[in-house]
Amino acid sequence: MLEVLMYGAIAALISGTVLPLLYRSKNTRKASFGLSLISSVLLLGFAGAILYTGKEPVFPAIRYLPGLDFTLAADRLAAGFILLIAAVVPGVSIYSIEYVEHAKSEARKNLQAALTNLFILAMLMVVLAGNMVGFLIFWEIMSLSSLLLVLHDYSSEENKKAGFFYFVMTNISTAFLFLGFIILFRLTGSAEFGPLEYSASELALPFLFLFIGFGVKAGLVPFHKWLPYAHPAAPSSVSALMSGVMLKVAVYGFLRFLLSVSTPELWWGVLIITAGSLSALFGVIYALKENDIKRLLAYSSIENIGIIFTGIGLYVIFRVEGLESLALLSLAGSCFHAFNHALFKSLLFLCAGSIVHATGTRKIEAFGGLVKSMPATSALFMVGSVSIAALPPTNGFAGELLLYQAFFQSFAVTNPLLTVFLIIALSSFALTGALAAALFVKLFGITCLAMPRSEKSSLAKEVPKHMLIGPAIPAALCILGGLFSKQLLSLAGWEIEFPDLLLLGLLLGLIYAALFLIIRSKETSPARISETWGCGIPTLAPYMEYSSAGFSEPLVMIFKNIYRTKIVHRAEYFDRQESLFRNGNVEIRLLRFFEEYLYIPPARAIESFSKYVSKLQNGKLDSYVLYAFLAVIVLIIATGGFV
């Protein structure tokens, strides 16, 4: 029965992929997104049933390669992530029905619909894959389909760069996964994911490789740079899927490995937490300075992935220290946070897509006043902002609460050095949370409140209804997921001491209602409308408002060591001796630390080396024969040496 649901979902997604490729029309696109919607409903049933009953479905192995079958498997972990997919997809599908129509040509619209389905399918199959080869295959398809989606507007220079960068990073990720899996395969002699009862030293290498591989895909610092490039380039619905689901698929892969290891070591946990905390902190700090709404959200994804990995790291540390209940708590926390992030990040990206669509720009400084012109979108955006700022009683808070609980009790570890480490990690975690709140006050406040800051923004209109229903689904889930978090956790089988947020939410609501009614009933005089006080200036103008850059200025000052600036000169001359100046510019800009010290130098080195190598192929027969001659000599000497 369960299997049928899954096959149905897969079939729906496949037909959703194929259909728009066959015939270009609006109806096929609609049908395609409808199919993905259907598939998500089926998936919901499938994953829910597994999580509830704990029964694992049995899929027959599919013959694939000699000596290697293609198997599907869904345990509770997989079911959890399938649930995550099923939760994000409906909103995105409904949203896309309208959103995809803004693409430039019919061909691209259909391609986008098909690829979106393929992308969802690939992510689903990665989670379902029963062995490493299947996992890698769909992992690659997932990367590829998302790459093509990122490149939907391929002619723009910026997108091209983003696409290339994404491609390279995703390849690096796959390469390390390849390596990690290959070593595991050699160790166990099978491609299946199974318990790894080996000593930690044997697993150290695969652990490192897989950590890097999944870390790149998840966007951990310092492998995170592709995110802020790829997200602005991709259509918003795809960003929602990428940020909401794809990053979590990487988390899933990492968990799948980690949970099968029976004896992890302490340094694993320390490494994971370090990377996680740094990601969280850098993610949010860079986001604060960002002026591009989608890039800001991308940085915020880095932050949240950092939080998830911090939880995973805590899990490892507690496992090593033998604190099983805390280990469970932190694992539950990071899984739950992964789930929540999927919801509110997809919600935010969808809203951002609507806003960008309505205003025609991605610059936060150009928005403003949308709460009046786009009330529904703004309300949804508000829900997303509150959730991501981890405010009660939303789901974002529930996830972080679990992690906080784990952290607060973590000082039970006996190792004093570890305690110091945990204190540092906790404070960085807290700082991240508060900065995120500041970030989303800025984002929501500057985007939606006050007066429109540009003409584009003042002309904005509310988006069509599909683009409202779409994000409304994750928005509702965000609130419900927060309110019913305790119930959800116990449904998922985690018996954890956890405050009842439903009670809290009810209390809040009741008191609010009571207050409101009491005060309203006593109201004597109606409210009056009057100009904002502007220190005597008669009319307020948009340029007087606090700007996005101004808002983050205090934090920029406080973290000025991180936001270092760089002065860049560019000059052109008429002559080679550089004495006759033609034109040039000087630019003071933010130092992109990771980019300029970590990415560009090796890229430059590879580039210049490749130039050098290319020169070897100089088209001259003389040189070619010389190479061959040298090679012959070397081979003769080598053979002589061997003999």
Site for other proteins in 160-189 (CB under 8 A): 160, 163-164, 167-168, 171-172, 175-176, 178-179, 182-183, 185-186
Among 409, 480, 593, 595, binds other proteins (CB under 8 A): 409
> Nearer Cβ to other proteins, position 88 or 191?
191
Instruction: Count interface residues toward other proteins (CB under 8 A).
Output: 147
Question: Shortest Cβ distance from residue 37 to other proteins (Å)?
Answer: 25
Torsion of CA 386, 392, 395, 398, to 10 degrees: 140
The residue length of the chain stands at 643
Among 1, 531, 570, 576, binds other proteins (CB under 8 A): 531
> Nearer Cβ to other proteins, position 77 or 441?
441
Which residues inside 467-496 make contact with other proteins, applying CB under 8 A? 486
Q: In this chain, which stretch among 5-13, 261-269, 319-327, 549-557 interacts with other proteins, using CB under 8 A?
A: 549-557
Q: Under the criterion CB under 8 A, does residue 462 sit at the interface with other proteins?
A: no
Q: Which residues contact residue 504 at a Cβ distance below 8 angstroms, ignoring those fewer than 6 apart? A: 392, 393
Report the candidate in 592, 591, 593 with the shortest Cα–Cα distance to residue 566: 591
Question: Shortest Cβ distance from residue 374 to other proteins (Å)?
Answer: 12
Which residues inside 329-348 make contact with other proteins, applying CB under 8 A? none
> Nearer Cβ to other proteins, position 57 or 276?
276
Residue type, 519: I
User: What HEC string does 427-492 produce?
Assistant: HHHHHHHHHHHHHHHHHHHHHHCCCCCCHHHHCCCCCCCHHHHHHHHHHHHHHHHHHCHHHHHHHC
Among 53, 201, 525, 583, binds other proteins (CB under 8 A): 525
User: What HEC string does 43-61 produce?
Assistant: HHHHHHHHHHHCCCCCCCC
Q: In this chain, which stretch among 87-95, 214-222, 355-363, 447-455 interacts with other proteins, using CB under 8 A?
A: 447-455
Q: In this chain, which stretch among 48-56, 85-93, 225-233, 388-396 interacts with other proteins, using CB under 8 A?
A: 388-396
Decide: 97 and 36 in contact? Cβ < 8 Å: no
Query: Tokens in use for 448?
Result: 């939606």
Report the candidate in 136, 135, 170 with the shortest Cα–Cα distance to residue 151: 170
Among 529, 567, 586, 588, binds other proteins (CB under 8 A): 529
Chain centre to alpha carbon of residue 148: 17
Query: Tokens in use for 302?
Result: 């880095």
Decide: 273 and 375 in contact? Cβ < 8 Å: no
Question: Shortest Cβ distance from residue 209 to other proteins (Å)?
Answer: 8
Which residues inside 108-147 make contact with other proteins, applying CB under 8 A? 133, 136-138, 140-141, 144
Decide: 232 and 292 in contact? Cβ < 8 Å: yes
Which residues inside 347-386 make contact with other proteins, applying CB under 8 A? 369, 371-372, 386
User: What HEC string does 235-290 produce?
Assistant: CHHHHHHHHHHHHHHHHHHHHHHHHHECCCCHHHHHHHHHHHHHHHHHHHHHHHHC
Q: In this chain, which stretch among 27-35, 309-317, 352-360, 626-634 interacts with other proteins, using CB under 8 A?
A: 626-634
Q: Under the criterion CB under 8 A, does residue 4 sit at the interface with other proteins?
A: no
- Tell me, residue by residue from 550 to 569, as one string, x for binding to other proteins by CB under 8 A and - for no binding: xxxxxx-xx-----------
Question: Shortest Cβ distance from residue 221 to other proteins (Å)?
Answer: 19
Question: Shortest Cβ distance from residue 274 to other proteins (Å)?
Answer: 17
Q: Under the criterion CB under 8 A, does residue 536 sit at the interface with other proteins?
A: no
Which residues inside 250-289 make contact with other proteins, applying CB under 8 A? none
Q: Which residues contact residue 8 at a Cβ distance below 8 angstroms, ignoring those fewer than 6 apart? A: 38, 39, 42
Query: Which H or E element spans position 599?
Result: none
Q: Under the criterion CB under 8 A, does residue 437 sit at the interface with other proteins?
A: yes
Report the candidate in 229, 251, 100, 116 with the shortest Cα–Cα distance to residue 167: 229
Cα–Cα distances (Å) from 182 to 25, 130, 209, in that order, read: 44, 16, 10
Question: Shortest Cβ distance from residue 219 to other proteins (Å)?
Answer: 18
Q: Under the criterion CB under 8 A, does residue 60 sit at the interface with other proteins?
A: no
Question: How far apart (Å, rounded) are the C-alpha atoms in residues 239 and 99?
Answer: 13
Which residues inside 12-31 make contact with other proteins, applying CB under 8 A? none
Decide: 390 and 345 in contact? Cβ < 8 Å: no
Among 8, 21, 41, 64, binds other proteins (CB under 8 A): 64
Q: In this chain, which stretch among 9-17, 78-86, 349-357, 510-518 interacts with other proteins, using CB under 8 A?
A: 510-518
Among 4, 58, 568, 632, binds other proteins (CB under 8 A): 632
Among 58, 491, 507, 605, binds other proteins (CB under 8 A): 507
Among 1, 65, 586, 588, binds other proteins (CB under 8 A): 65
Q: Under the criterion CB under 8 A, does residue 433 sit at the interface with other proteins?
A: yes
Decide: 38 and 12 in contact? Cβ < 8 Å: yes
- Tell me, residue by residue from 143 to 162, as one string, x for binding to other proteins by CB under 8 A and - for no binding: -x------x--xx----x--
Question: Shortest Cβ distance from residue 101 to other proteins (Å)?
Answer: 12
Question: Shortest Cβ distance from residue 74 to other proteins (Å)?
Answer: 21
Among 61, 515, 568, 605, binds other proteins (CB under 8 A): 515
Q: Under the criterion CB under 8 A, does residue 416 sit at the interface with other proteins?
A: yes
Question: How far apart (Å, rounded) are the C-alpha atoms in residues 229 and 248?
Answer: 19
Among 500, 590, 591, 594, binds other proteins (CB under 8 A): 500
Question: Shortest Cβ distance from residue 630 to other proteins (Å)?
Answer: 7
Q: Which residues contact residue 626 at a Cβ distance below 8 angstroms, ignoring those fewer than 6 apart? A: none
Question: Shortest Cβ distance from residue 435 to other proteins (Å)?
Answer: 5
Chain centre to alpha carbon of residue 61: 32
Question: Shortest Cβ distance from residue 623 to other proteins (Å)?
Answer: 7
* Sign of the dihedral defined by the CA atoms of residues 254, 257, 50, 74, in that order: positive
> Nearer Cβ to other proteins, position 44 or 114?
114
Which residues inside 582-621 make contact with other proteins, applying CB under 8 A? 606-607, 609-611, 613-614, 616-621
Report the candidate in 108, 137, 100, 122 with the shortest Cα–Cα distance to residue 39: 122
Please provide residue 140's backbone torsions phi and psi, each rounded to the nearest 5 degrees: -70, -40
Please compute Rg for the chain using Cα positions: 27
Among 1, 527, 586, 588, binds other proteins (CB under 8 A): 527
Among 411, 574, 581, 597, binds other proteins (CB under 8 A): 411
